[in-house]
Amino acid sequence: MYSTAYGIARKRNCCMHYHAQDLDELRQIFLLNGSNVCLTSDKNFAKLKNIPRANNGGCIFYLELIHNVYNKSLELTGYWQSYRYFIDYEQEIRNQFLFNDNILSKATSYVLLHNTQNRILVGIHIRRGDFLSFRHSTIGGVLASSIEYIQNGMNYFTEKYSNPLFIVVSDDKLWCEETLGLRNDVVITPYNFSAADDLAVLTLCDHNLITTGTYSWWAGFFAKGEVIYDKSYPKEGGLLAWNCQKDDYIPSSFKALA
């Protein structure tokens, strides 16, 4: 949402307003040094009246929003998960989402500890959690961490590169240990690693095998090499597929795999 608002503001040559407290969590992780980001107090924000509101339920790209067809002010609500709003300012976005030194140092130390032989590193993010729910399946989702997809992706990299090392991050590390932990080419980040620590580790890998969801998406966006995603997600014809068009959500640089 931050990136979308930033991209629209840059297109309109105006300022992106954010409540200062809303940026606190992001600033604990990233530098966020955008020059056109204006912080707005609750008091000043309350003075703004009759602002047009644009709501997005997922990944839909509305071309008209990046042109000044509304009033000067525009409020974004909902979910904004299309890269097309900010891709023209890709490098600026990358420069803002640089990890703070303490997080980057922790992730770098971990990677160096496990890669003493200078192997090709493949980051794997496995999302389970809410994606195991009945609701997720009824709107057209499939389990993003299916073992078949993960194994196919690992086989792809194993056939392409000699002796790769897979670094796994997940919101369900116990499942990863039980499912992949016996492989000698797999390491799983520690339980005490935060989501930010894990994301930083993924960005340090040479390539990434991602599941679905925005966390995985950003790992792929920040990746240096190949990014493999599950082409079976979401199910065709479902609500999720309608609300998340692949052309608006998946960059052409990502490679599909079943």
Distance CA 13, CA 151 (A): 46
Domains, in order of start, for the chain: 1-97 (no CATH), 101-256 (3.40.50.2000)
Can you give the pLDDT at residue 154? 97
151: tokens are 């194994």
Tell me the pLDDT tens digit for each residue of 119-151: 999 999 998 876 554 444 444 444 445 789 999
Tell me the pLDDT tens digit for each residue of 189-234: 999 999 999 999 999 999 999 987 889 999 999 988 999 998 876 6
Reduced to 3 states (helix: H, G, I; strand: E, B; else coil), residue 117 is coil
Closest CA to 58 of 75, 81, 28: 81
